[in-house]
Structure 1
Amino acid sequence: MIRILFFILIILALGAGFSWLADRPGELSLIWQGQRIEMSLMVAATLLASLVAAILITVWIVRVVWLSPHSITRYFRARKRDRGYQSLSTGLIAAGAGDANLARKMTARTKGLLSADQEPLIHLLEAQTALIDGKYDDARKKFELMADDPETRELGLRGLYLEAKRLGANEAARQYAERAADKAPHLPWATLAALDYRGQTGQWDEAIRLIDQSRAAHVLDRKDADRKKAVLLTARASEKLESDPKGAREDATAALKLSETLVPAGLIAAKAYFREDNLRKGASILEKLWKHEPQPEVARLYVRARNGDSATDRLKRASKLEALKPNNAVALATVAEAALEARELQLARSKAEAAARLAPSESVFLLLADIEEADTGDDGRIRHWMNQALKSPRDPAWTADGVTSPDWLPVSAVSGRLDAFEWKAPVSQLSGPVEDGALSSIDAAIRALPPVYVPPVRTDETVAQAPEILEPAETVVPEPQPVAVAVVEQPAVKVETSPETEKQPETIVTDAVGARKKPDAALTEPFFGHAPDDPGVRKEKPLEKTTFRVF
């Protein structure tokens, strides 16, 4: 476009010049070798312009003819290079698509058209083709050649890193990631990999330094970088908590400034303040975390902040947490635990049942079982609550890569990823739609509770007369009831030596009101006609009355 404008300007300038000469005519005389040549000024200017044009055309023709061999060679070379790049592009696309045959074909054609020194991407095409064919050793050699070339160093290191990860060579992968992070700190994959490996080995200072460099180079997002640095500071603070509480407090508070919702950092900072006898600041940190997300660990540390507190004092602190976060299952369960320790059993039961109505979980029903044991001691009711706990959803826990941990960890033990642990339920259970008027799980569990076992009153006379028929009662006996008494009269039978005079005794049975009734045949006649080797009883023996309790 610029050339066209420049050409138009030149034409306009020539036209303007000739127009100016036409308006100002004149004569031009030239004497050369004794001859006089006269012409007008316009003719002289036209001849001069034609001469200049002829010279320029002659120079162009001579230049074209002189440079024609080089131009022809350059033309064929450019055409060959274009075909090579086209083959390289097609081969890379085929390798990415997994077409091994086309990738091999394009690799051979590219090597015939282009030189590896001229285009380093040929090594990448060969490495990708070798990976598709399963020739991992050849691919690794190609990646090593690329890692030695300054132009393809990052690409080769990434290939070697991925191959080491595939083979499970974590130490080799760590070295490649560290090398890439040192040579090219602007690479996000190298930075993240180096962070993970330094986190796995506990090199918190080196990891923090690397995250600062990455943040300065704008490799990681500011929010993501702040979160990872907060996790690293929390990990370093957890190691300092026992030996250096002050240093742990400084690291934990710095982590809270970067991420206000990081619960482990808040717990460590509160523990450090409590060890320094600064209960106010430690409680303030825990209350702030509690308002954002109530967690049992926060509640447990808040309630037991001071070692010398009584159970009643702990109950007051738990009630304060409930006031900060009302209608919350974790807060209600915390109050229930504190009330159980303070022997406020009715309060503990009501709060635990309210927590179960809001969010039924395993820990809440186990808490109800503990309350039942402390209140009634009924084994049947305790087993009932434990059965409900087995059928309830699991409580939230620190989970990473499908594995739960009792404590928070900065790095996942499965994948080695930094900041992988989350506070969530390990296994989610889906529940169907609740129909109108249907009972909740806690209400149904309460209605299905077995009655409290109350042992019956046993007297000395009852135990002495009929100890074999006393059985535990299965129902609640609110008031003393009249006891029915059966009187069995057994006659005295005289012993006869003669078989003809042998006679079975007559048994008289009275019912509950004292009326006589006919005994059953099963009571008067033996199964085999008579008892074997039964000499009988004496008839002269007087009747004896036996009294016993039925219930």
Structure 2
Amino acid sequence: MLFLFFFLIALAAASYGVVWLADQPGSLTLEFAGQHIETSIPVAIGGLLLLIAAIILVWAIIVALVRLPKRMAGGSRERRKAKGLDVLSQGLVAVGAGDLARAKKAAQLAQKLLPEEPLTQLLVAQSAQLSGDNNTAAKAFHKMTLKPETKLLGLRGLHVEAKRREDADAAHHFAAKAQDIAPLPWAGSAVLQHLAASGEWDKAREALEKSVTAKAIDLPEAQKLRAVIETAMAVQREREQPHDALHLARQALKRRPNFVPAAVTAARVLIRHGDQKQAMKLIETVFAASPHPDLVEVYLDALPGEANSQRVAGVERLARLAWSAPAARHALAEAALAARDFAKAREALAPLVAEGEHPTAHTCLLMAEIEDAENGPSGPVREWLARGSRAPRDPVWIADGVVSRHWLPLSPVTGRLDAFEWKTPPHSVHHLTEEGRPNIPIAFRSRPDRPAIEAAAQS
């Protein structure tokens, strides 16, 4: 609307100027090369304007002719680029769909149409990975590292390829180079896992702090990993540097309250240096919130070498802190069985074997042991062993399908930190300890007077 307004004003001004010029008297005389030309002022101005318009038109035609080849070449490049981008799109879709033939064809065509396009190398690498051609994939990723805009992507690809061929040093090298360029979560995690797998816990903690500073990891997750690393450091220094180990374990407990591995490590250090009362107090505090068999094992070490009846009283005091937990009742039953207090052992397990309940394998094996100790080999012993073979499994330390007798800071399969969880294993897992034996409770395994029951449990 505003443009139309100004256009009308300009048109009116031009019309007024033409009328004014036509009304002016006078003439224009031109003598050139023996020629005498005389005309009015309006006609002379009109002729001048026509001459200027003709010159502009001729100049435009000349410029257009000069630029025509370049424009034709540019149009060809644009069409080539458009076709190349379309091929790239189709190729990446084919890679995602797992269509190897289309992906390879698209990669070859993209290399012809767009050899300098960063996505071309990505398509070549991914199609090579899809076909299992790791050498071609690595070469494509290496080319990507030569350009600043694709260097991180190339390093990520080289890291993946190194892990695929199980070259830990090369994988760490590429991850560290990427981490130096930018604090990426994948690079920080890879560097951290490599240092942890190498047992370089101090450097692992430094790497974690760098990721936290760069905000490549959220704080809750960082606190968990700090606790895991500090617990691993405490275990490493437990014998040679007990004071440092105790400090690290307590620090881990502050970061991750009721973290059983940290509590167990701290308690072991305290017991080794004669502070049993402090160790028992620590275990009782953690056991009330996280009843765990590992805590019971250390608690038994902290109890003074008294009579079995007194040890039963100590274990009962601990068990009462989490009386509804199976681990608490199992602990009391085992202590009572060792003291040959069969009534108390049965009483501890009674809620777990009551009608309508589904006792676990550990509970069934304990009941079989109680029957055998009290009445000798009999039908009830065989019945409990049979029930145990079909019973639900007890929780274990498990990570990536691997069961460990003790907690470990990282998975032996993937190297992932904080991978071990205390939970019921799936049916597909091989329920074995490091020694290749069934992961039944230590207290049950270690009794030499029950070879027949143990053999039956293993079978």
Q: Normalised by the size of structure 1, how large is the TM-score?
A: 0.63
Match of 1:195 in 2: 192
Query: Residues 73 and 378 from structure 1, CA distance in 2 versus in 1: closer, same or farther, beyond 3 angstroms?
Result: closer
Superposed, 1:236-275 pairs within 5 Å as: 236-275=233-272
Following superposition of structure 1 onto structure 2, how do residues 425-504 of structure 1 map, counting pairs within 5 Å?
425-427=424-426
Cα separation, partners in 2 of 1:94 and 1:425, compared to 1, 3 Å:
closer
Alpha carbon RMSD of aligned pairs, Å? 4.0
Counterpart of 1:541?
none
Letter in 2 for 1:255: A
SS in 2 for 1:379: coil
Match of 1:488 in 2: none
Q: Can you list the C-alpha shifts for 1:88-113, whole angstroms capped at 9, x where unaligned?
A: 22223233333343334333433333
In the alignment, the residues of structure 2 paired with residue 10 and residue 32 of structure 1 have an alpha-carbon distance, to the nearest angstrom, of 38
Q: Give the stretch that moved more between structures: 258-267 or 131-140.
A: 131-140
Q: 1:330 to 1:355 in 2, by over 3 A?
A: farther
Rounded to whole Å, the distance in 2 between the matches of 1:125 and 1:102 is: 11
Counterpart residue number, 1:227: 224
Amino acid in the other structure paired with 1:316 = A
Which residue of the partner structure matches residue 113 of structure 1?
A: 113
- Kindly provide the CA deviation profile for residues 486-511 of structure 1, in whole angstroms up to 9, marking residues without a partner as x: xxxxxxxxxxxxxxxxxxxxxxxxxx
User: Is the partner of 2:222 in helix, strand or coil?
Assistant: helix
Query: What's the offset of the Cα at 1:202?
Result: 0.8
* Counterpart-to-counterpart distance in 2, 1:378 and 1:95: 67
Residues 77 and 327 from structure 1, CA distance in 2 versus in 1: closer, same or farther, beyond 3 angstroms? closer
In the alignment, what sits opposite 1:380? 378
Pairwise CA distance, 1:239 = 0.9
Amino acid at match of 1:130: A
Contact 1:252 1:268 in 2 (8 A): yes
Deviation at 1:407?
A: 0.7
Alpha-carbon shift at residue 412 of structure 1 (Å): 1.9
* Cα displacement (A) at 1:11: 4.2
Flag the 1:325–1:68 CA change in 2: closer, same or farther, 3 A: same
- Aligned-partner residue type, residue 141 of structure 2: F
Which residue in the other structure is 2:5 paired with? Answer: 12
Q: Is the 8 A contact 1:233 1:252 kept in 2?
A: yes
Q: Is the CA contact (8 Å cut-off) linking 1:27 and 1:38 kept in structure 2?
A: no
| 8 A Cα contact 1:91 1:103, kept in partner | yes
Within the candidate set 341, 353, 356, 1:344 is matched to 341
Contact 1:312 1:342 in 2 (8 A): yes
Q: Aligned-pair distance for 1:255?
A: 2.0
2:368 paired with 1:360? no
CA deviations on 1:48-101 (whole Å, 9 max, x unpaired) are xx99x9799868777656644433432332222222222222223233333343
Matching residue's letter, 1:399: I
One-letter code aligned to 2:234 = A
Q: Is the 8 A contact 2:358 2:392 kept in 1?
A: no
**Equivalent residue, structure 1, for 2:134:** 136
Report matched runs for 1:64-213 at 5 Å: 67-114=67-114, 116=115, 118-186=116-184, 188-213=185-210
Give aligned-pair identity as a percent. Answer: 34
1:476 match: none
Cα–Cα, structure 1 residues 326 and 13, in superposed 2: closer, same or farther, change >3 Å? same
The reply to whether residue 317 of structure 1 matches residue 317 of structure 2 is no
Residue 516 of structure 1: aligned partner: none
1: distance between equivalents of 2:280 and 2:288?
Answer: 12
Q: Secondary structure at the match of 1:270?
A: helix
Q: CA deviation at 1:359?
A: 5.4
Alpha-carbon displacement from aligned partner over 1:307-342 (angstroms, at most 9, x marks no partner): 355544433333333332233322222222333344
- The aligned counterpart of 1:296 is 293
Matching residue's letter, 2:233? R
For residues 328 and 94 of structure 1, the distance between their equivalents in structure 2, rounded to whole angstroms, comes to: 53
Q: CA deviation at 1:422?
A: 1.4
Paired letter, 2:342: L
SS of 2:145 mapped into structure 1: helix
* Distance 1:355-1:132 versus aligned 2 partners, 3 A rule: closer
Q: What secondary structure sits across from 1:398 in the alignment?
A: strand
Rg (Cα) greater in structure: 1
Is contact 2:122–2:140 with CA below 8 Å preserved after alignment? Answer: yes
Aligned length: 409
Asked if structure 2 preserves the Cα contact closer than 8 Å seen for 1:329 and 1:356, the reply is no
Letter of the aligned partner of 1:351 in structure 2?
A: A
1:212-236 CA-to-partner distances (Å, cap 9, x unmatched) read 2222223233333322222122111
CA separation of 1:11 and 1:70: change in aligned 2, threshold 3 A: farther
Unaligned runs of 5+ in 2: 30-37, 429-459
Deviation at 1:247, TM superposition (A): 1.3
Instruction: Give the distance between the partners of 1:92 and 1:38, measured in 2 at CA.
Output: 72
Distance change >3 Å, CA 291–CA 82, structure 1 → 2: same
Q: Is the 8 A contact 1:304 1:314 kept in 2?
A: no
In the TM superposition, what is the alpha-carbon distance from 1:210 to its structure 2 partner? 1.7
Equivalent AA in structure 2 for residue 345 of structure 1: F
Is the 2:95–2:103 contact (alpha carbons within 8 Å) kept by the matching residues of 1?
yes
Q: Distance in 2 between matches of 1:134 and 1:341?
A: 59
| CA 1:32–1:113: 2 relative to 1, 3 Å | farther
2: CA distance, partners of 1:65 / 1:407: 83
Cα 1:21/1:386, change in 2 over 3 Å: closer
- Tell me, yes or no, if the aligned pair for 1:333 and 1:355 is still in contact at 8 Å: no
Name the SS for the 1:198 alignment partner: helix
Q: Equivalent residue for 1:420?
A: 419
Aligned counterparts, 1:539-550, within 5 A: none
Instruction: Return the match for 2:327 from 330, 333, 337.
Output: 330
The 2-side partners of 1:355 and 1:56 are apart by: 106
Measured in 2, the distance between the counterparts of 1:105 and 1:30 equals 80
SS of the aligned residue for 2:304 comes to coil
Distance (Å, rounded) in 1 between the aligned partners of 2:186 and 2:245: 30
Contact 1:264 1:408 in 2 (8 A): yes
Corresponding position of 2:437 = none
8 Å contact 1:372–1:381 — kept in the other structure?
Answer: no
Maintained 8 Å contact 2:371/2:381: no
Question: Does the 8 Å CA contact 1:279/1:305 hold for their aligned counterparts?
Answer: yes
**Cα distance 1:133–1:15, how it changes in 2: closer, same or farther (>3 A)?**
same
| Letter of the 1:400 counterpart | A
Structure 1: unaligned runs, 5 residues or longer: 1-7, 40-46, 430-551
